[in-house]
Chains A and B, each alone.
Chain A
Amino acid sequence: MNQPDRQSAFYTNQARHVRQCWKEARFVGWTWLVSLLVVGGLIGRFGYLAPDERPEIPPLVWGMPAWVFWGLLVPWVGLIAVAWWFAGCFLKDDEPCEDMVADDPFPGSGCTLQDGMLKAATGDGEPTQTHE
């Protein structure tokens, strides 16, 4: 593969990686929001009762207050299943970085692509020490 093709492959794969990561991040973000609403809602509704609203005999499930069981434990188990599905089926393998051989393709940007690595610059445009 010649240099322009390698560069093109790099940019295409990088964009694909970002799109996939963004998709996964959005899924996790929505899961977080839903869990906040469900757990917070259930506990707020059934676990935060004013003293005169509390039952004469508190209902228990498996020895713990019922609101802890239904509002915390059950959603938590559900979220474990969601996490397993997310990790097992939704999270995609990342593609390997394309090997690049290039001189500085972006004069003035302060960043170069060499051997599949981004060599970024410090603020004054000088390349940093390479460590890989």
Chain B
Amino acid sequence: MLLAAIDRTQLYSLVPFVAYLVGVFVIAVVSARYLKGRQFESEYYVGSRSFGPWVLAMSWVATMASGGSFLGYPSRVYTYGWSMGLWVSGSCVAAMVGLGIVGKRINRLARQTGALTLVDLLRDRFSSRAIGLIYPVIIVLITTVYLLAQFAAGAKILENMLGIEYRTGLAIFSVTVVAYTTYGGFRAVAWTDTMQGIVMIVGIVLLVPFAIRAVPGGLAAATMGQRDRQDPVAELHGLPPQRDAYLYGPGPRKVPKNIQKIAAGDAEAAKIKAANREQGLEMWLPLSMGISYFMLRSLAAMMMPTTVPRMLSFKDTRALRRAIMVLAPYMLLMYFSSMITMNCAHSIDLGLEPHQADQAVTALAKKVAPAWLAGILIAAPFAAVMSTVDSALLVISASVVRDLVQKGFCPRLSERMTKRLSYSVTAGIGLVIFVWALQEPTFIQPLIIFYSGGGAAALFWPSLAALYWKRATGPGVIMGLLGGATTFAICNQWLPFADVLPLHPFVYGFVVSGLCTWGVSLATPAQSKSRLELYFGRDTE
């Protein structure tokens, strides 16, 4: 009887998850039918610009909220407690910024010029072949790194949920997401995103009452319980803990990447500890770094290569308006729910070591939720990861096929050839990332921050200038892109002023990109008046 009960429990956990996967494939098959009888590229890459508010809203947030939002961010709350408040605060204004500043402008210009990618818009705006080559190369590079993190996240979820090996989970995840994305294109991606967005929010919000109920005394008891919590980093290195470190900024000490070796009593543990102490074990989130994260989280989504296609695909301003109204409370529900559940998690013994924090959400779901709900809750982070991977795959495919091959070298590519190339590149990228991800990356969130931080630093000012500033020029936009990307990459390895005023590398890249865009634009000849009037009109009022 006990064996039967165990099997039933596992079955109940798997049913919602399997149902979700079936739903994804059904959507892909239905979406593929739309490709017949429509212009292939427009349908495959922007869904023929036909999406309404719900698809726009859900696909935007599902794409933006990746494994980072459902594994990385909760794992950080689990690790650092309420001190994560400032870290996540930028999300309070992300929906307005992400859609309100550029949504209408990009959509209109894309309709007028036939643009299917951001690079299309920028290349045509400045009649610049250089932009058409440099931009997609950078987008491909940073999005590939991002995909690596997401594939790893998807594999880890399956590893934890099904009790299978990481590589097996990676294979299942890769085949699933690459198959429906390749076959169904953007419509499949957007519709599955919509389903995933709903699964995500239902899952993460439903976990809240179960997590609170599992703690005797509720959330207040869980919060006060954090007062007695030991800082494992301070303890392992023989440092004095700070009072109420998990209830206030800057939080406890930042967990070093080599903590697993120290905790395991590795032979090198003493040397590692000494080296850590010499380098300095910094606090988790100094105020200046917290402000950096506010900027990053509020601004990054606006011009991310994976979210811009949503701006190209909605059907009218009414859809945009309603999407903003849906997304604003959605962001609060999503991120604040995780704050609550993960701050409760420490009062519920999940049996996780500091380096296993990425498993906190799935472990909590299994522990406190009934089996049928646990399946939905475990599907939520999986859905988040899939929704991001499918968008990123198409971004790379569009960058290669449309921006580099078709617009760069083969303008008379036939539709048949374009179709074959699109399918091949989408599937091929998936295969490459799968092989790369076989070497399991340890921490997912830093890779995601590299993408969002690097992307925001490089793309924000050049893209904004192209849309709104008449004086912007092609060289200015290129230098803004390169300056931002290079500065971010350098500062990611070597952070200037780290001892005096620690700021996220994004801030430096962001500033340099803005200065380069502005300075080089002013130093280079302006575009002709006739060309500017096409994009900015002629003021007669």
Residues of A bordering B, CB below 8 Å: 8, 10-18, 20-22, 24-25, 27-29, 31-32, 35-36, 39-40, 43-44, 47-49, 51, 54, 58, 60, 62-65, 67-68, 71-73, 75-77, 79-80, 82-84, 86-88, 91-94, 97, 106, 109-111, 113, 116-126, 128-132
**Contact B537 A130, beta carbon cutoff 8 Å:** no
**Contact A123 B128, beta carbon cutoff 8 Å:** yes
**Contact B92 A75, beta carbon cutoff 8 Å:** yes
**Contact B42 A132, beta carbon cutoff 8 Å:** yes
Q: A93-B318, A111-B531 are in contact. Are A14 and B537 (CB under 8 A)?
A: yes
Q: Which A residues are CB-close (under 8 A) to B536? A: 14-15, 18
Q: What are the 4 tightest A-B residue pairs by CB atom distance, in nearest-first order?
A: A15-B537, A63-B219, A14-B537, A120-B124
Q: Which A residues are CB-close (under 8 A) to B336? A: 73, 76
Chain B 336-361, CB-CB to A under 8 Å as 1, else 0, gives: 10011001000000000000000000
For chain B residues 195-238, which have a beta carbon within 8 Å of chain A? 212, 218-220, 222-224, 227
**Contact A43 B89, beta carbon cutoff 8 Å:** yes
**Contact A80 B291, beta carbon cutoff 8 Å:** no
Q: How many Å from the CB of B398 to the closest CB on chain A?
A: 13
**Contact B41 A131, beta carbon cutoff 8 Å:** yes
Q: Which A residues are CB-close (under 8 A) to B411? A: 122, 126, 128-129
**Contact A11 B533, beta carbon cutoff 8 Å:** yes
Which of these, B85, B127, B321, contacts A88 with CB under 8 Å?
Answer: B321
**Contact A110 B324, beta carbon cutoff 8 Å:** no
Give CA–CA (A67, B223) in the complex, Å.
13
Q: A12-B537, A72-B85, A88-B321 are in contact. Are A25 and B249 (CB under 8 A)?
A: no
Chain B 301-344, CB-CB to A under 8 Å as 1, else 0, gives: 00000000000000011101110110111001000100110010
Give CA–CA (A28, B533) in the complex, Å.
25
Q: Which A residues are CB-close (under 8 A) to B86? A: 39-40, 43-44, 47, 72
Give CA–CA (A51, B329) in the complex, Å.
34
Q: A80-B329, A118-B124, A129-B412 are in contact. Are A39 and B92 (CB under 8 A)?
A: yes
Q: Which B residues are CB-close (under 8 A) to A88? A: 321, 325
Q: How many Å from the CB of B148 to the closest CB on chain A?
A: 31
**Contact B530 A71, beta carbon cutoff 8 Å:** no
Q: How many Å from the CB of A22 to the closest CB on chain B?
A: 6
**Contact A117 B113, beta carbon cutoff 8 Å:** yes
Q: Which residue of A lies closest to B93 (CB)?
A: A35
**Contact A54 B407, beta carbon cutoff 8 Å:** no
For chain B residues 84-133, which have a beta carbon within 8 Å of chain A? 85-86, 88-89, 92-93, 95-97, 100-102, 104-105, 107-108, 111-114, 116, 123-125, 127-130, 132
Residues of B bordering A, CB below 8 Å: 39, 41-42, 82-83, 85-86, 88-89, 92-93, 95-97, 100-102, 104-105, 107-108, 111-114, 116, 123-125, 127-130, 132, 212, 218-220, 222-224, 227, 242-245, 247-250, 287, 290-291, 294-295, 298-299, 316-318, 320-322, 324-325, 327-329, 332, 336, 339-340, 343, 406-407, 411-412, 468, 528, 530-531, 533-541
**Contact B112 A79, beta carbon cutoff 8 Å:** no
**Contact A43 B85, beta carbon cutoff 8 Å:** yes
**Contact B108 A17, beta carbon cutoff 8 Å:** yes
Which of these, B88, B129, B290, contacts A122 with CB under 8 Å?
Answer: B129
In the complex, 6 of the A-B residue pairs with CB atoms within 8 angstroms, ordered by the A residue number, are A11-B533, A14-B534, A76-B92, A76-B332, A83-B327, A84-B328
Q: How many Å from the CB of B461 to the closest CB on chain A?
A: 13
Q: Which B residues are CB-close (under 8 A) to A121? A: 124, 127
Q: A40-B291, A51-B244, A94-B104 are in contact. Are A118 and B113 (CB under 8 A)?
A: yes
Q: Which A residues are CB-close (under 8 A) to B116? A: 131
Q: A58-B227, A123-B130 are in contact. Are A117 and B325 (CB under 8 A)?
A: no
Q: Which residue of A lies closest to B241 (CB)?
A: A51
**Contact A15 B538, beta carbon cutoff 8 Å:** yes
**Contact A86 B534, beta carbon cutoff 8 Å:** no
Q: How many Å from the CB of A73 to the closest CB on chain B?
A: 7
Q: A48-B249, A58-B227, A73-B336 are in contact. Are A86 and B100 (CB under 8 A)?
A: yes
Q: Which B residues are CB-close (under 8 A) to A116? A: 112
**Contact A128 B407, beta carbon cutoff 8 Å:** yes
**Contact B93 A31, beta carbon cutoff 8 Å:** yes
**Contact A51 B242, beta carbon cutoff 8 Å:** yes
**Contact A118 B324, beta carbon cutoff 8 Å:** no
**Contact A48 B250, beta carbon cutoff 8 Å:** yes
Q: A17-B537, A60-B223, A68-B85 are in contact. Are A94 and B316 (CB under 8 A)?
A: yes
Q: Which residue of A lies closest to B105 (CB)?
A: A21
**Contact A109 B100, beta carbon cutoff 8 Å:** no
Q: Which A residues are CB-close (under 8 A) to B102? A: 25
Q: A60-B223, A124-B129 are in contact. Are A106 and B104 (CB under 8 A)?
A: no
**Contact A92 B535, beta carbon cutoff 8 Å:** no
Q: Which A residues are CB-close (under 8 A) to B111? A: 97, 132
Q: Which residue of A lies closest to B540 (CB)?
A: A12
**Contact B328 A36, beta carbon cutoff 8 Å:** no
Give CA–CA (A28, B93) in the complex, Å.
9
Q: A40-B86, A83-B324 are in contact. Are A128 and B101 (CB under 8 A)?
A: no
Q: How many Å from the CB of B457 to the closest CB on chain A?
A: 17
Which of these, B128, B250, B295, B324, contacts A86 with CB under 8 Å?
Answer: B324
Which of these, A25, A77, A106, A109, contacts B468 with CB under 8 Å?
Answer: A25
Q: Which B residues are CB-close (under 8 A) to A124? A: 129
Q: A60-B220, A117-B112, A129-B412 are in contact. Are A80 and B537 (CB under 8 A)?
A: no
Which of these, A28, A39, A80, contacts B89 with CB under 8 Å?
Answer: A39
Q: Which A residues are CB-close (under 8 A) to B538? A: 8, 11-12, 14-15
- Inter-chain pairs besides A17-B105, A64-B219, A68-B85, 19 sampled, C-beta below 8 Å: A14-B538, A20-B104, A21-B105, A24-B104, A44-B86, A44-B287, A47-B85, A51-B245, A58-B227, A62-B219, A64-B82, A68-B339, A76-B332, A83-B96, A87-B325, A93-B317, A111-B127, A111-B534, A131-B114
